[in-house]
Amino acid sequence: MVQPNPEKDPEQWTTGDEPMTGPQQSYLQTLAQEAGEEVPEGLTKAQASELIDELQQRTGRGA
């Protein structure tokens, strides 16, 4: 039986300290607008992922 891979904590990503990707930035802009927030400049991939999770919870988007 195959076990699904548990999600890795963004802080443990080997590329987590790289700048956020274009899709992350685009999605963050959408979520932030809905939440009435500003997206900070210069986020890393890991920081962007964590902020996406937080804003998804606050806006009711996501899983």
Model confidence band, residue 62 (pLDDT cutoffs 50, 70, 90): confident
Q: Identify the domain containing residue 19 by its residue range.
A: 10-59
Q: What pLDDT score does 14 carry?
A: 77
d(CA 49, CA 42): 13
Global confidence as pTM? 0.75
Cα–Cα dist 63/3, whole Å: 20
Torsion region of 31: left, alpha or beta (phi above 0 gives left; psi -120 to 50 gives alpha)? alpha
Residues 11-49: tens digit of each pLDDT: 676 777 899 999 999 999 999 999 999 999 999 999 999
Q: Is the pLDDT of residue 61 over 90?
A: no
Q: For the chain, what is the domain count?
A: 1
**Domain assignment present for 4:** no
Q: Is residue 46 assigned to a domain? A: yes
The length of the chain, given as a count of residues: 63
pLDDT at residue 2 above 60? Answer: no
Q: Is residue 28 part of a domain?
A: yes
38 within some domain: yes
Instruction: Determine contact, residues 45/24, Cβ cutoff 8 Å.
Output: yes
Q: Which residues pair with 44 in a beta bridge?
A: 19
Within a domain: 2? no
